[in-house]
Each structure stands twice: as C-alpha cells, then as structure tokens.
Structure 1
C-alpha cells in the first residue's frame, strides 16, 4: 500500500486535500507541512459554503497551503495532492477561463514565489492527514490553523505516517 514519505533532506513537504459534500454544497480544505524528519510544522483546516465542485475545494486547499508556506517564509517545498487535475492545471501554461480559473492563476503566482518547489500527484493513501483535515472542515467540525504544535485531531495519523514512511 502506498504511504506518505518523508521529503528529501533539506526539503519540506506540503500535502493538500479538499472535500466536497454534493448534497449540502459544503466543502472543506486541509493542508499540512512537515519537515524531512516528518515533524509537524503547520496546518490549516477551513470550511467553505456554496461550493461548486470537488475541484473547487482541491484548488482552494492548494491556494491555502501555498499561502501558508509563503507566509511562514518556507523554501524548498515538495507539494503533494491526490487530485491529478490540480497538478495538470497548475503545470499548464494556458489561461483557465472556468469558474475556478482565478484560483488556478493565484496558485500559479504563489508557486513562482517559492524559491524551490516541486508538485506531484499522489495516491489518496499517502495523503491521510490533509484528507482528515479537509473532511472535518467540510462537516463544520474545525476552522483553524496551527503552527509548530499538531492538533490532537491529527496526531494519530501523523504518528502512523512517521512509523510507516520509508
């Protein structure tokens, strides 16, 4: 089974995920940043109302995660998302005129502001922490950000990742 992996020495890892509840139009985002040892550095979980799609939430998660990285002055960041469409949209050199086009353009701009960045798609099983944060936010259970000290609601998944990462 695919699991979360530590970033290489000298790099950080940002994992992002979005959640969307079609029946209610509610959504949520989750993002978490860890260092080369798997140590928690920061995270955010935020609910959204009047969401148009799952892609909307995936992109909002990316935007929030990138802003967290930038505001914390972090460099050398490997970014992972379990939504391949997000990676394709952000690597494209065309202007997106869809309802999420402005979010895509924001993310492209933020990616350029990070000195050393890589972006890749991963399997959902390697994105458990961000996934949990997004789903808790979409259900209205959490709206918060954390720096340096991991919240109790994700400590078990962080621990599992640190034990199984190779």
Structure 2
C-alpha cells in the first residue's frame, strides 16, 4: 500500500489517537466503478492494450457499443514487440479507424483505462518520446473526422470487456473483427449492460 507522506504528517499532529483510528486514517475506501452507456445516438468505444512483461509481446483490443449497450463490434490483434504505452495508443487508433470505417463518425465516446495517455490526448500535450508522439499525432489527425468526440478515462474495473479483447489478441495470428460477440466476453458485456458495479481497491 502506498501512503501519502503528507497524510502521515497530518496524522502525527493528532494527539492521543487510538491505533485503530490511525489505521483508518491510512485506509483508502474502495471506489465503485460502473461502465456507463452512451447517450442516445452516441456510439461508445472502449479500448485497451496488453503487454507481457517477460516476452515483451503486445496486443490490442476494443469493443464498440450503442446507447442500449448493444454489441456493435469487437477487435483484437497481436502487434509484436511493444511497450504498454504503444499498445494503448495503437488500440485507440485502431478503434477510431474502425469507427470511421463503419460509419460511426457522428457521436463517438472513447474510453480507456490509461489515465495519463487520455490526459495527454485531451489536453493536446507534447511528449519527448518520438515514437509515442508519432502515435499521438496520428490520433489527433483522426479526431477531426468525428463530428463530436469525447475522450475519457475509466478505471480498469470498468474496462473489462476491452481488456478481454486485448488479452485475446495475444492468441491471434492475424487481426480479428467480430460483429457478433464471442463467448469469451459475454459475461463482461452482460454485466456492463446491467450496470453492475465493481469495487476498485486502492493501494
């Protein structure tokens, strides 16, 4: 568990606090996470990248759903050697390209669990890494193709369907696209559609 040093100092200033209360001071309450349906007329793209630490091999995946949480499309692909940052950006770019290809270019809500990357894209920040910046520039060049596009962050617990597709990408010998949901993601899709809340444990 990571403890903020400033919180330690605050606790030290308190006098005659029982040990159990000090423990509660350091305890982080779990965060409820729920996948949200997009508004009527909107399409939602959840994306994710996966990288295996030992082999360094990466894969991407994502899922597109409508305002009723109906499955529209899923995709997965192995992209060879890449770090997690490149995998996340590649997953996002591929999902946006597919959204354009299938005509979902009017109202698109894009959501991923890589918070720093989402902030970089939303705030149009520059990064030092040439390869990462190239991917970001490609994504920024695609964004104007959408009439309305929202990019937001969600914790991994709310991005489980996209994560499942990304994991499936490791076992794919070629890029795959599904118009009917595969059995492997049915549970995640159903729980998202039902608005099931998953608790995220911090620390």
Same-fold status (TM-score > 0.5): yes
SS of the residue corresponding to residue 44 of structure 1 reads strand
1:125 counterpart residue number? 157
TM-superposed deviation, 1:13: 0.7
Moved over 3 A (4+): 92-97
TM-superposed deviation, 1:73: 1.2
CA 1:94–1:120: 2 relative to 1, 3 Å: closer
CA displacement 1:73-109 (0-9 Å, x = unmatched): 1120111010012212212335445122111111111
Distance 2:190 2:37 in 1: 13
TM-score normalised over the length of structure 1: 0.91
Aligned partners of 2:111 and 2:154 also within 8 Å: yes
Distance 2:163 2:87 in 1: 12
1:56 counterpart residue number? 86
- Unaligned runs of at least 5 residues, structure 2: 1-31, 198-203
TM alignment of 1:1-166, pairs within 5 A: 1-51=32-82, 53-74=83-104, 75-98=106-129, 99-138=131-170, 140-141=171-172, 143-147=175-179, 149-164=180-195
- Unaligned runs of at least 5 residues, structure 1: none
Larger Rg: 2
Aligned partners of 2:120 and 2:126 also within 8 Å: no
Q: How many residues align?
A: 163
